[in-house]
Structure 1
């Protein structure tokens, strides 16, 4: 007997369900694409440098490669305004940038495979910076698209969870897979594997349907996009190499070497754009809708944030700079500490595989769920508490005999806390932005959120060494301090919950 025909409402509901499932799968894929290379210029690179005898202080300086995403506000407006020639004509502006970024990620990772002996730390840094740049570009394009498609917290929760599941799955796959391959076949093989995997989603994007109303031919747009991408990738390589060489030459003339304390100077340079905005706050608040400050392509999106929130913007920026600090501080030095405790690369790789993946996905899932059920203040508090517990877990691990089960437990606590805090924080930042400027403002806020943590992370190796020389347990105090900083963000929550943005009269 045939099934009764579906009602019109049932058809609409079914279409929405299919559309929603497809959207979640898409953003899971985009999260995978962005997460795959992250460990390759952070944690895995730190272990690689340590294996080649690079000093801990210098390894800490390499963590400053992770400062690059904090500067993404410099080029984020370009992604909102322009498209990649060829790719944008058929697949649209957002997907076009995502496709270019994937090509950049694959080429930079392959270059790191070719230079895996680390004989020239300058060359290693060059390709690590390029890898961080293209990874960040992919995130900017994907975040802007996500905010455009899902403007409310209820819509953001599931998409953020799917995106972070993909992101963290890729991070775990890259971290554990790279370490296991490196232990068996060397660092070059590990980076070649990740380069190939990073390009795997590219054919799926090419095969997707074009943008609505697009008139371009797929093949013609594809080949035009490849030519444009080659030119853009070459230009980026030249710019980074030139700026990097000039910076190293300038540092040498100033007498700056691996033993110099350059943290205050780096902090001052990174904070200049944000301090300039804060100083201009009275003028910004008086600016009308036609003011050049608010209509400028370059700074208009950022001026808009300060115009809407006023002095409360300073409170928001202080909070976001603290919230993920504990996670970031732990990221760069947790693996060298574990290696120093006597665990092998294979043991670390196994902990970073199934254990880390399950714990991280559980944390992300719970975080994505509670933002749709709990108030904003309670979700942010829960994320901070579990992130701090993850950091304290490394102190616990350091005082136990070498035991793989204990390593699994510490890794699980760290990844669960990171996943939960990450999910609730992404939704919180997404709700702060003006939908007129989703890419630029989210880049601005998320970049500032990791500026101070990544800067301090770069000095982490020096901090631990100085504590050890002073007779203290350097790693213990470092991870205890990073956990306490995560908890300190909770003190901002009563004030944060009273902040409301000014209505945009446009």
Structure 2
């Protein structure tokens, strides 16, 4: 029991939460808050819609993740017989000084955090009404350095935590992420009512200092694997190792499981707000119950899920939480057959967000457990990029499906579509698999 609570209140768990906060805060600065700023500045709606493309780095971050696994900037090395520009020499010295003193993971975390803060300041200095192109470029820099920070933080957490701590550590990181999103999204919009958007962005950039301080104070993971010594080792071998570990079929199966495990929950979440409005709930009810109350239910689910993960392990938690997640989705089908009721709305939202938070904690821990510590950054970046694919791809047809099936039929379908992912647990996360 002592070791259990020592793990819960350890330095590693605090770092996981704080770094999750640092990852979550920049996300909405290039989405909801930026959209509000552009709307207030009179920018055309079509251009505001196109701004969603600046989030592309989050979905393709596995492309440059090998550079962070390697621990050095490729192309900065001095080559005999060739001129060596002063700027390259200075940058090479800075990289070696930071990574050499802080270590591979902390060095890259610090670089990403400093450049991310600079990009947010650059975004703050822009004017959407006068120079939307500059705003778009600055927002793209924010998402690029934010995605780079995510790569380094995910790799650090995987190497810093013991295997049996991945569940709780992942849940704390996710909850820190949500708190960061709440501060940037909700807090940023509230502050924008009493100050300029420029000041809001400058304050948000300053809030990232907590991540910088944590990076400087926390130690580099112990027994860290040796960094890849060539670009082939950094780029090719992570994929060769992953798909060669138990065969190509197993590797593709794991990727398929990651795509399917939360697909029903993702489909249902896409249409919840239109569903609430169609059933006669007011904007106030949706805001207070579905959004604010639901947020804290999700946080509680993440924490509870992390504690259960520490006790039961990842595989058993995936089974239990996946089943509860499917049952909670069916709760919306029940709600579709009732009149507007704040009590029933709160009950369904509490159960759905609680179980979703638990399932997400187990889901993230499973992905971390599938990575080889020699290639943590690259493999986790690949898996976490896949994590967001269902949310993007399944959002398009859900409106048509809801019109065709009706609300009750739509949510029943979302419940049933979770079955393939649950069935894949038999092979890719057997009940006793992580207890052997």
Partner of 2:206: 196
Give me the whole-angstrom Cα distance separating, in 1, the residues matched to 2:111 and 2:168.
27
1:205-224 paired onto structure 2 within 5 Å: 205-206=215-216, 208=217
Aligned length: 399
> 1:17–1:381: structure 2 CA closer, same or farther, 3 Å change rule?
closer
Partner of 2:287: 348
Q: Deviations over 1:208-246 (max 9, x none)?
A: 277699xxxxxxxxxxxxxxxxxxxxxxxxxxxxxxxxx
Tell me if 1:303 matches 2:240: yes
Q: Deviations over 1:366-386 (max 9, x none)?
A: 222222333644421333344
Give me the whole-angstrom Cα distance separating, in 1, the residues matched to 2:242 and 2:183.
37
**Residues 7, 13 of structure 2: 8 Å contact kept:** no
> 1:119–1:377: structure 2 CA closer, same or farther, 3 Å change rule?
farther
| TM-score normalised by structure 2 residue count | 0.72
Structure 2 SS opposite 1:146: helix
Give me the whole-angstrom Cα distance separating, in 1, the residues matched to 2:22 and 2:401.
38
- Considering only aligned residues, what root-mean-square deviation do their CA atoms show, in Å? 4.6
Q: Which sections of structure 1, spanning at least 5 residues, go unmatched?
A: 1-12, 214-292, 502-506
Tell me if 1:138 matches 2:149: yes
Partner of 2:87: none
> 1:488–1:55: structure 2 CA closer, same or farther, 3 Å change rule?
farther
Q: CA deviation at 1:500?
A: 12
> 1:209–1:493: structure 2 CA closer, same or farther, 3 Å change rule?
closer
1:104 to 101, 104, 115: 115
Give me the whole-angstrom Cα distance separating, in 1, the residues matched to 2:47 and 2:323.
30
> 1:184–1:474: structure 2 CA closer, same or farther, 3 Å change rule?
farther
| TM-score normalised by structure 1 residue count | 0.63
Partner of 1:87: 98
Give me the whole-angstrom Cα distance separating, in 2, the residues matched to 1:116 and 1:408.
41
Partner of 1:275: none
> 1:120–1:451: structure 2 CA closer, same or farther, 3 Å change rule?
farther
**Residues 390, 413 of structure 1: 8 Å contact kept:** yes
Give me the whole-angstrom Cα distance separating, in 1, the residues matched to 2:274 and 2:34.
11
Q: CA deviation at 1:30?
A: 0.9
Q: CA deviation at 1:298?
A: 1.4
1:38 to 16, 22, 27: 27
Give me the whole-angstrom Cα distance separating, in 1, the residues matched to 2:36 and 2:327.
24
Give me the whole-angstrom Cα distance separating, in 2, the residues matched to 1:140 and 1:413.
32
1:495 to 417, 427, 433: 427
> 1:58–1:364: structure 2 CA closer, same or farther, 3 Å change rule?
same
1:324 to 252, 257, 262: 262
1:206-285 paired onto structure 2 within 5 Å: 206=216, 208=217
> 1:420–1:205: structure 2 CA closer, same or farther, 3 Å change rule?
same
Partner of 2:363: 425
Q: Which sections of structure 2, spanning at least 5 residues, go unmatched?
A: 73-94, 223-229
